[in-house]
Amino acid sequence: GQSLEQPSEVTAVEGAIVQINCTYQTSGFYGLSWYQQHDGGAPTFLSYNALDGLEETGRFSSFLSRSDSYGYLLLQELQMKDSASYFCAVRKGSARQLTFGSGTQLTVLP
Amino acid sequence: EPEVTQTPSHQVTQMGQEVILRCVPISNHLYFYWYRQILGQKVEFLVSFYNNEISEKSEIFDDQFSVERPDGSNFTLKIRSTKLEDSAMYFCASSDDSSSGNTIYFGEGSWLTVV
């Protein structure tokens, strides 16, 4: 089976940097994705890592270590609008389905 | 920007009734999915569809569920004989056929309440 672990809640202040960690257990690991979801809204793709290292997209970066089965999402220059749930998700092998973690609720305080 | 659209946004149905949720995936995408999210829980995969057939399904997707692509644009999820525990947000999603296909685009969801 597959399992993903991420913190349930993180709180930070506007302008700060926050890191959301994700550890996973899966056979046939293919890649780690990150999605953002505002209350009642659609999950929105943020980032994807298939290889070890850091991927940067504007204020958001994502890191993967395949040997450690670990990744993180780094959010810089936090804004109030970044308050949302963040999910890591793994893709297994050639299958295209995603298995999501339980999500991390990020609260950005003024 | 192209988007996945879903109807209805909300539906209330009585237990035992059949429900059809509709989706229009992004036009040049070839992979279609249904996911669901029970209130306060994580997003769960139900089924993927490619080339007019189911390519993957989870253990949640039992005989109560079916999917169909009735025409060139719509993709539907049918839930027969709904149960209280089917109450959830159902997300349709699509992705392209590139070798990575790692970006899955989700619709805004259909909130189903079974009473």
How far is Cα of residue A47 from the mean position of the Cα atoms in its chain? 8
pLDDT of residue A94: 67
Q: Is A96 in Cβ contact with B55 (below 8 Å)? A: yes
Q: What is the mean pLDDT of residues B65-80?
A: 94
Which residues is A71 bridged to in the sheet? A22, A64
Q: Which residues contact B17 (CB under 8 A, 6 or more apart)?
A: B81, B82
Judged against a pLDDT cut of 80, whether residue B56 lies above it is answered with yes
The per-residue pLDDT string of chain A (110 residues; one tens digit each, 9 = 90 and over) reads: 678 999 999 999 999 999 999 999 988 788 899 999 998 789 999 999 989 999 998 999 999 999 999 999 999 999 999 999 999 999 876 667 889 999 999 999 99
Share of chain B above pLDDT 70, in %: 95
Query: pLDDT of B6-52, one tens digit each?
Result: 999 999 999 999 999 999 999 889 899 999 999 988 999 999 999 89
- The CA–CA distances, whole Å, from A75 to A45, B31, B55, B66 equal 14, 30, 35, 39
pLDDT of residue A93: 66
Q: Is A33 in Cβ contact with B101 (below 8 Å)? A: no
For B56, the closest of A89, A95, A103 (CB atoms) is: A95
pLDDT of residue A9: 97
Q: Is B95 in Cβ contact with A42 (below 8 Å)? A: no
- Tell whether A96 lies on the interface with B, counting CB pairs under 8 A: yes
Query: pLDDT of B75-103, one tens digit each?
Result: 999 999 999 999 999 999 998 866 555 68
Q: Is B55 in Cβ contact with A100 (below 8 Å)? A: no
Query: In chain A, which among 25-64 make CB contacts under 8 A with chain B?
Result: 31, 33, 35, 37, 40-45, 48, 50
